[in-house]
């Protein structure tokens, strides 16, 4: 994952200095992020970790507590 961060920073710097992006980096970062996220699922399953995504809880606080 750290490699994706460095590649993104390099892309931003190249765009800013030379107006030349790294070709195909958006696709590489997208696939790399997907692989990194998918790679964490087996580790979580082995440790029997439950994931909770609280994306909309702040927008709908009453609906989240309603059961």
Between the CA of residue 45 and those of 31, 35, 41, 53, what are the distances in Å?
22, 16, 6, 16
Distance CA 28, CA 5 (A): 12
Distance CA 19, CA 3 (A): 22
Nearest one of 9, 2, 13 to 36, comparing CA atoms: 2
Task: Give the residue ranges of the chain where pLDDT is below 70.
Answer: 51, 53, 61-67
Distance CA 50, CA 44 (A): 8
Give residue 24's pLDDT.
94
Give residue 63's pLDDT.
62
């Amino acid at each position: 994952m750290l490699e994706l961060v460095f590649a993104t920073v390099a892309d931003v710097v190249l765009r800013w200095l030379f107006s030349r992006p790294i070709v195909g980096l958006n696709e590489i970062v997208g696939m790399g992020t997907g692989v990194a996220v998918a790679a964490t699922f087996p580790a979580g399953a082995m440790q029997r970790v439950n994931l909770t995504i609280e994306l909309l809880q702040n927008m709908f606080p009453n609906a989240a507590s309603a059961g």
